[in-house]
Structure 1
Amino acid sequence: NRGSANLFGWTKDEVVGKMWVGRTFLKEARTGGVLQEISRKIEAQGVVEYQMERVRKDGSRFQANAIVTTLQDSSGKILGFLEIARDITEKLRLEKELRETKDYLENIVQSSVDAIVTTDPKGRITFVNKAMEAMVGVSQKDILLLPISRFYLEGIDEARKIMGILREKGSLQNYDTFTLRSGKKIPILLSASLLRNETGDIIGTLGVFKDLTEMKKLEEELQKTQAHLFQVGKMRAMGELVAGVAHEINNPLMAADTFIHVLQENLPEGEPNRQRLELIQKCHSRIAKIINHLKDFSRQSKLDFRQIDVNEPIENALLITGQQLLNHGIRVGKEFQPDLPKIRGDSTQLEQVFLNLIANAKDAMEAAGRKKELTIRTSLIRHSGWNDIEISFQDTGVGIAEENREKIFEPFFSTKEVGKGTGLGLSICYGIIDAHGGRLEVESRVQEGTTFRVILPVLGTHLGTALEWMEA
């Protein structure tokens, strides 16, 4: 017919009764027994469909799909064959392009660092990428057809809430929620939309889960750094104020002490006023002690930085307080990491910090009235590009109320009874550690205990070499 003439290039007059149909097949197909195989299938089955490369009159080749059936008379005798063939070159090209596009898009989806999931209208999972598998800890074959609500911290309530927003608005962007991995909650940022078919009917949902775990950690670190900088600025401003106040109080106090001494010398033993003067002198001593603490707090003197082993000032502090702790029934546990690198610090000033932290732990455990244990640990914290040493003091004391944790490093703030502290100890410690380029952090639970962490930078190799040269 005309379609055959257009497809193969031969006219009706050129082929009818004159040309063998085998000429439209490749030579390899003719000699390789392919035609014979097609003939056997036609005779056995009556009809056969095949796809192979065919040849036109001009020698060009094309991919063809053909259906061949037998032509029979009323008795069933085969009179000939009928072939219906069509050029599928363009169809195969489009299928290949579609396949390549599908593979390309699937590769993009599977390579996404964000988790991608689709569900059917009932909320059953129909697809997840590798990032989703990793986020929830379940393989693709095990997660398909599970309800998406299983992977929300709030379960079905959260799933219904999200679906309600999608039905109302069609999409959802940057929604904060939590997913679950082996029972552990993971903060995520969810963006989602409805999936619709060509008629506009909802056929499912598409969700993108962004893991916020690392971002939350960075935010916490940023908040800690900002709080630290704010505290340092506040402490320095307070130090300047305190230095002036201490100076102004100290001058008249020294004059008053001189007059008290003169009066005591002129009063005989047993004189009632002599006892009153002794009481005033004790009050002056108390004021003088507070002034000395103020001077320590506001002192801007240069620290004696040297290359030291951080365990040494800890051991020195324990040597001073060891017997006192033992007398109060406090068990001291030491968990020191061996072979810690050196730090650059003032051993005496660090010893003062450790003495203060040990004293605070002792007082806190005295008030708790239960088993008293102070555990001191040293460890190396590795970062990308630098390392820190952490010294922690963990007690089993009364703990610090949440509303007081941000105030404990402020000058004159104290939770102790009047007369048992000036409220400057931790402020002085904070300033010393800041001068060492470190941080002083606290973690506490009421009626469970408190942990103070001193974090100091490790002395780098290049700094160590320079310091050794300076000390030589």
Structure 2
Amino acid sequence: MNAKTTKRAKSTSTITLPRDAVDSIGSGAVRLNRRGDITYANEALCQILGVQSGKGLNLRDIFPDEKDFAEVSKNLKERFSERVGNDYCVEITRRSDGAKVPVNIIAVPETDEAGKVIGSFAFIRDLSEERKAHQIHKHIETERDWRRMLERVAEEVREIIPFDWLTISLYSVDLRHGRLLFSESSGEMPRWQVRWFELPEMGRRLMNEKRPIIIRDFEEFLSRPGWVETRKDSDTQRFLKMGYRSCLWYPVLEGTLVAGIALYKREIGAYRDGDQKIIEILPVRRAVSLALHYLDREERDFRLHLIRDIAASDKDSQETAQLLVDRIADHYEWENVSLFRVNEAQKRFELVAQKALAKDFEIAVGYTQELDAGILGLVYMTRNCVNSGNVNADPSLAARFKKGVRANVVSEVAIPIIVDGKVCAIFNSEHSLKNAYSTEEQQAVESVLREVSGLYKRIELQQILSGILQSTRDAIIRTDSKGVIVQTNRATTELLEFEERELVGTLLSQYFVNADEGKFFLEADEPPGDEVALRRKHGDSIAVLLSGSLLPDEVGGRVYTASDLTWRKRVERLEFLQKMYQEIGTLSHAPLSLCFSWIRKLLRASTGPDKEVLDKIIRQLKKVQLTFDRASLFEREGTSMPFNPVRLGVPYVLDGVVAEMPAEDRNHLDVAIESDLPPVEGDLFQLSFCLASVLGHLLQFVPEDGKVQVGAYRHNGNVEIKISGKTPRDETRELGRYGEESVLAHALFELAVGGDTLHEFMHKHAGRFVGPQRRGDEEEFVFVLPAGSSERI
């Protein structure tokens, strides 16, 4: 090192100081003869030199380095020849371990009574503390990572106060628990079974004195009254087996005791009062206080960033829950962190997300638990947090703890997440160490969860809106204030045939077939709902009902809804056709009635072939009349055909239907009516229409020698009219794979008979229509009507 030498005024006297005074000086004191032999060294210098006594040592022994020895020799020569004092700095090589010790030497020549220089006297001050203090200050000022800063500080401390293990522990506010924050060791460190260790009463008393503590022998110390139970602790036994015997503990105060620095050695009596003074000189306390400040800032930043990221997240609740547990598990280094959703409909908890530091600490995917079971059930019912340092030994929780889930769980904390006064989820963490969760950590997580619960409802609402956006059949298009598309839904892709990535960033106006309409819609303050034509990807256009609205100022832009009018126009056409058929059916009654009257008049006057032709004409016109009757029976403007029930006898209705048939059709009927058949309540026209429709359908297929069977019977309090006859076997009438007629078969039947109309009429009669039921080559139709009074009509 570069030596700085300061010359002092000439001295011609001998320094005479009381031996006791010199020995008590904190700095080293040494007397040399002219040969450089040490004739006196006080205790402080012996400590610097690393020897028991300076007797027999020469300058060459304590300055083996040539550069340092040359500097000392030069200054010594000046004192002897020029009789002046010196003030300079060099490095002494400590005899005990060879370490270089920076020192400041202030020396004067020593003379006898005759004024002759006989030697030199010097005060030697150890600069190690100052140098280390300077280095520690440098680390404090330059390092922003508190872990790295403490590592650097520990390295500096080790060089002037050797240790085998250095720890920095945090203490709870009530000084009942502590947790290891930082550890530095050159060898094996103990693996604790407790995360937040309990501080014994005697320990709290000692630490409350807020002064450094030196333990010269742990074995002897732990045998003192008040420490016997601590000695029995498994972690204490593990510590003693590793050979640690002495300790220097130093408090870190910020108004109250917040942390402690401990240096351990495997030697008995390794630390003395001088070490205590050195650690008090070093800015170690400042370094730890700054580390705690950084730690507090990390905690604040962690909470702020977590809440910010959840608030800004566009993920669903599952991914948001995973983000929450991942961040908390990583920040606090807890072995398992999980989130359970409360499913009140199923009366159970459902695992939503988890983060485990080890595979054997994972909860099975899809895990569920009853709402009244376990610690989760207790939290759900009481709406209070549970924080247990040992769930197996806690009498209030041992019976509730689910031991079969994970056998290695010791500590557990469970916190309810309450939204709108209801527990909607439970945060849970488990750890294999005892006392894993401090009150401060619990309160910090509760603070985060309170903020998250406020966001939970917004996330849920956002998911609902997102689900509606993607599931609605209408196209939804969001634009910015300039009409540029920023978001669309799935229905927009189906409507315009463009993918969302193709639409985003383009002007909405370019998709209007009519450019003027597009300009109007984009510039209107409140775009009205109107029919417009939009251009599709392949050049064709589609008619839509387009409406829009302004979004709130804080969001900006507009949102447009486009409803496809294709099906609506088809429905309108069908409604038009329905009305047209109704008009045709209604207007055809008068001409057909006249035709029937004229033809029957001709039929009575005709004979031979003419009569046969006229009979066939009547049969065909009857089919036309049934078709027009069905057309006229469709609902008009949302109202059904009038229903006018009266007491009717089934024979009377059947006779009226048969009398209207041509003679040839009547000859193919085989009618059987049970005697004493009760009457029914019904509309004569509707019942006649039903029977005539089925008879007309079957008679068109009857062979020359065939019959259509018509029967009326009493059955289970009802009157049943069964009509059956042969019909061509059609493959489309075969049952489908699920036991139902094919769609085509149903359509053919509907065209021939008007089955839906028959079902509707029977429903109005409080009865039912069954058919067609195929039995071999025949089809059977059944009308079931409630029987009225047994009085004959």
TM-score, structure 1 length as denominator?
0.40
Query: Looking at CA atoms only, which structure, 1 or 2, has the larger radius of gyration?
Result: 2
TM-score, structure 2 length as denominator?
0.26
Considering Cα pairs closer than 8 Å and 6+ residues apart, tell me whether 1 or 2 has the greater RCO. Answer: 1
